[in-house]
Amino acid sequence: MSNKFTQMFTKEHRNKNYTYYVFAIMLLGGIAALVAAFVLSLDKLKVLEDPNAVLSCSVNVVLNCSTVMQTWQSHVFGFPNMYLGLIAFPVMITVAVLGLGRVKLPRWFLIAANIGFLLAILFSYWLFFQSVFVIQVLCPWCLVVTTSMTLVFSTMLHFNLKENTFKFAKKYNDRIQRFLEGGYHQMVVLSWIALMVVIVFVKFGQALFAQ
């Protein structure tokens, strides 16, 4: 029993059962993002009714959803950005569930999903950098979305690279497989998230914890 439990954490086991880990993380990321989008949608209605409303995620001057919601960046396409999340995040959750169910998805669908997730993460990080350097106010729930999108996109990319969905030539695919099997992809993702955390702390410092 103990040997089986120990084997779950070996590189060989992870590589053999990578599909489970990939889509499980994607599912958790999709759910977290959907919850954040739903809460932000409710809060947006409160702000529309009362621009001076104090929201639960309005912690201080720096961490303040209400302030961010009243900027043009919060409705880039003419409607609140979180409504896009209410549409997109259920799709991501569906892809994750299908993956966990070992459903054989067509190549065109996997590529389309990867492109869609790429556009979503680019938009998410554009909003992140707008918040940090232009608005200079952070929305806690938006940070949840950005982190979740990082996980969702990276897992989708990991799966497609592992399965060689993009049909790379053998010499390139062999290098990619060695990169993935070595755990370097996870290291890149974690390092990227850590970098984003550092950027936030360097930019705002102790103001993040002010009352």
pLDDT at 49 over 90: no
Mean pLDDT of 114-129: 96
Mean pLDDT of the residues in the chain? 89
The model's confidence at residue 65, banded by pLDDT at 50, 70 and 90, is: confident
pLDDT at 59: 85
Q: The domain 2-209: what is its CATH number?
A: 1.20.1440
**pLDDT at residue 8 in the model:** 37
Number of helices (H) and strands (E) in the chain: give both, helices first: 9, 0
Average pLDDT of the segment spanning 90-109 = 95
pLDDT surpasses 50 at 112: yes
Measure the CA–CA gap between 150 and 142, rounded to whole angstroms: 12
Closest CA to 113 of 57, 156, 164, 51: 156
Q: What confidence tens digit (pLDDT) does each residue in 161-179 have? A: 999 999 999 999 999 999 9
User: For the chain, what are the domain ranges?
Assistant: 2-209
Sign of CA dihedral 116, 110, 34, 63: negative
How much is the average pLDDT of 21-42?
A: 95
What does the alpha-carbon distance between residue 165 and residue 26 come to, in Å, rounded to a whole number?
A: 18
Name 138's bridge partners: 63
pLDDT score, position 173: 96
- Residue 156 has a pLDDT of 96
Question: What whole-number percentage of the chain has pLDDT above 90?
Answer: 73
